[in-house]
Amino acid sequence: MKNHKNPLLAILFLALPWLLPVTAQAEQFQDFGDYVVHFNALPTSFLDPAVAKNYRIVRSKNRAMLNITVLKKVMGTAGSPVRATVTASAKNLTDQVKDIDIKEVREGAAIYYIGEVRIADGETLDFTVDATPDGESAPRVVKFRQRFFTDF
């Protein structure tokens, strides 16, 4: 994998194993044939203050950041980042729906999509992400569940 000197991605993917429970430490992605969608969510309080400021992310123990990357498979590589139309929402266990505004971030060849959502201690969210790569008509739908702990 090429080094794109992407501080946000480096922080997210290097820190992720220490931030998640043992059962969730595996890399989170879903394979869709020609594309792979990588995803994670973490409390924004885990972000370095300078990184959060640079990306205009509100640091708070009561906010989580959703991070999505869409890669087109390229033989012999980790894949090539592609632009996509990405929408996301989360629903808690009481069926309260939380829409997540997604913004595209580009740094060199890296392309990723981030959004923020309010969270409470012990809250479990069921995320739904629709990612439609440019030039494609059908979304790649990712669904995952994550529980957040904010009081530690």
Confirm whether 134 is domain-assigned: yes
Q: Are strands 35-43 and 29-31 parallel, antiparallel or unpaired?
A: antiparallel
- Asked, for residue 1, whether it belongs to a domain, the answer is no
Tell me, what's the pLDDT at 5? 52
Does residue 50 carry a pLDDT above 70? yes
Give the domain extent around 38.
Answer: 7-17+27-147
Tokens of 74: 């390229």
**How does DSSP classify residue 49?**
H
- Can you tell me the distance from the alpha carbon of 35 to that of 71, in angstroms, rounded to the nearest whole number? 6
Of the candidate ranges 25-29, 91-95, 143-147, the one whose mean pLDDT is the lowest? 25-29
User: Do the domain assignments include residue 142?
Assistant: yes
For residue 121, the 8-state DSSP code is: T
Looking at the predicted structure, is the pLDDT value of residue 4 above 70?
A: no
| pLDDT tens-place string over residues 55-110 | 899 999 999 999 999 999 998 888 899 999 999 999 999 999 999 999 999 988 99
The answer to whether position 2 is within a domain reads no
pLDDT of residue 136: 96
Number of domains in the chain: 1
Q: What is the pLDDT of residue 19?
A: 43
Which amino acid type is present at position 4? H
Residue 8 has pLDDT above 80, yes or no: no
Q: What angle do CA 123, 146, 125 make, to 5 degrees?
A: 50
16 is written with which tokens?
């992720």
As given in the structure block, the two tokens for residue 19 are 């931030």
Distance CA 36, CA 74 (A): 11
User: pTM here?
Assistant: 0.81
Q: Is the pLDDT of residue 133 over 50?
A: yes
Residue 86 falls inside a structural domain:
yes
Q: How far is CA 99 from CA 73, 104, 128, 129, in A?
A: 29, 16, 10, 11
In a domain, 22, yes or no: no
When comparing pLDDT for 9 and 142, which is higher?
Answer: 142
The closest of 32, 63, 12, 38 to 140, measured between CA atoms, is: 32
Q: Answer yes or no: is 43 within a domain.
A: yes
Q: Which of these ranges, 1-10, 30-39, 59-68, has the smallest mean pLDDT?
A: 1-10
DSSP 139: P
Residue 141 has pLDDT above 70, yes or no: yes
Distance (Å, rounded) from C-alpha 40 to C-alpha 38? 7
- For the domain that residue 119 is a member of, what is the CATH number? 2.60.40.3340
Q: Is the pLDDT of residue 127 over 80?
A: yes
Residues sharing a CB contact under 8 Å with residue 141, sequence separation 6 or more, in sequence order: 128, 129, 130, 131
Domain membership flag for residue 87: yes
